[in-house]
Amino acid sequence: MLHLGKYDFFTNDSGGIETYLTTLTQNLQYSVIQRVLVFSHKADTITEKRLNHVDITMLPVHFVLGTSPASYYLLFYLNQIINSFKPDIIHAHMPGLMPLFMILSLKKRGFIVNWHADVDGTAVAQNIAYPIYRLLEQKLLSNADAVIVTSPHYLYSSRSLRRWKKKCHIIPIGINYPFNKADTTLSSSQDLLRKDSRLPEEIKSFIGNKRIVLSVGRMAYYKGYPFLIEAMDRLLRRGCSGIDDCLLVIAGEGRELIKLKRKVDEMRLQKNILLPGRISESVKHDLLSVAEIFCMPSIDRAEAFGISLLEAMAHKKPIITTHVNGSGMNYINIHGRTGLTVPPSDSRSLANAILFLLRHQDVAKLMGINGFHRMKAQFSSIFNAGRIFELYQSTIQKNSQISSIH
């Protein structure tokens, strides 16, 4: 199998697609021979890496169109790797530019599209080059043997997939659980202050013994973090009891980070809100272990799913999400059972939801437990990999039958 991804998982631009691709390939590494082709800002030339039994090729990023990276080496190397590796199936992770360069090669092998998110309907679609992208995107979908969609909500609201519903298979994203024991060593804010804690001093000294509202994600326009910052400001200005010992931590790297830090400074919230940038997996799990609430305030369908929600549920945390029509967030979070759902772009509703969970700890704890059981039942990475492996097998079998007929 040849996977066509977006960014290398180890760069600052990595997000949900990169996390998913890494988890999937590692879960399939003993069942399938795989290669992965991605882009990396850290690569000056074509770079090879091996992660356990999976070979990863990274192309340097020479330019970015919309939010999609591209390289001058892409067309030549893509054809080279297809001809030398001879994959039974090409598994393309969309959106992105890379799969669009291989439309002419698709008739020779099986082709599966993993539809992570639409471009249509997002801010990126305002780009002058979008009509060309859409034309190629639809040609790609017409050639696909199957399309993987991560939630029914996203499938039935997608204009891009409207013509191709018969090809679509709903296979939710999953996470690896149980976690590595090294990622789940903490159980209270006191543990964060231990001398052997893995937290950077900046985070450790900021948190102290206070309660934490947490969000983790790439700093992109659609994440809605300005509204979460404004929600925290509302609670502090109202002087609500239960909020005076609470802090907000928003962790992640991306283009919007500088703007968000400036907003925190302008609102004089430096003592209440921390944006530490990119954090390691171990630090993320440390924070998830002790957080009271996990919040995802996204404002756009570009938030197609939300892997970090599953990680918070695995740590038995109540979650707050926004009701963005068509987003997989609505599939993951069941309002009143695993957490709370509020309107997007609404700092007042976000503030009220945070305050409710902080004041009603028994309800919050029950939601966290419900979310944990839902995550285990519906969102296992092993379940996801198994379904995709079955799709690989059926695609190969179907193409073999067609070839024998011809």
From the CB of residue 373, how many other CB atoms can be counted at a distance below 10 Å? Answer: 12
Q: DSSP letters along 275-324, please?
A: EEES--HHHHHHHHHH-SEEEE---STT--S-HHHHHHHHTT--EEEE--
Residue 196 has pLDDT above 50, yes or no: no
Band of pLDDT at residue 14, cut at 50, 70 and 90: low
What pLDDT does 403 receive? 56
Bridge partners, residue 51, by sequence: 54
What pLDDT does 400 receive? 76
72 phi/psi in degrees, rounded to 5: -65, -20
Per the prediction, the chain carries an average pLDDT of 87
329-348 pLDDT, tens digit per residue, is 999 999 999 999 999 999 99
What pLDDT does 55 receive? 93
Per DSSP bridges, beta strands 68-70 and 63-65 are antiparallel
Of the candidates 299, 287, 291, the one whose C-alpha atom is nearest the C-alpha of residue 349 is: 299
Q: Which residue has the higher pLDDT, 132 or 115?
A: 115
50-104 pLDDT, tens digit per residue, is 999 999 999 999 988 777 888 988 888 888 888 899 999 999 999 888 888 766 5
Q: Which amino acid is at 154?
A: Y
Interior angle at CA 19, CA 287 and CA 107, nearest 5: 170
Give, for 170, the enclosing helix (H) or strand (E). strand 168-170
How large is the angle between the packed helices 381-405 and 16-28, nearest 10 degrees?
70
Band of pLDDT at residue 405, cut at 50, 70 and 90: low
Q: Which residue has the higher pLDDT, 219 or 177?
A: 219
Band of pLDDT at residue 8, cut at 50, 70 and 90: confident
Residue 209 CB-density burial (10 A; 0-12 exposed, 13-18 middle, 19+ buried): exposed
Distances (CA, A) of 167 to 100, 148, 163, 278, 393: 19, 8, 9, 37, 15
Residues whose CB is less than 8 angstroms from the CB of residue 2 and which lie 6 or more positions away in sequence, other chains included: 34, 35, 36, 37, 81, 82, 85, 87, 89, 90, 91
Of the candidates 29, 50, 102, 94, the one whose C-alpha atom is nearest the C-alpha of residue 68 is: 94
Residue 297 has pLDDT above 70, yes or no: yes
Q: What percent of the chain has pLDDT over 90?
A: 57
Per DSSP bridges, beta strands 54-60 and 47-51 are antiparallel
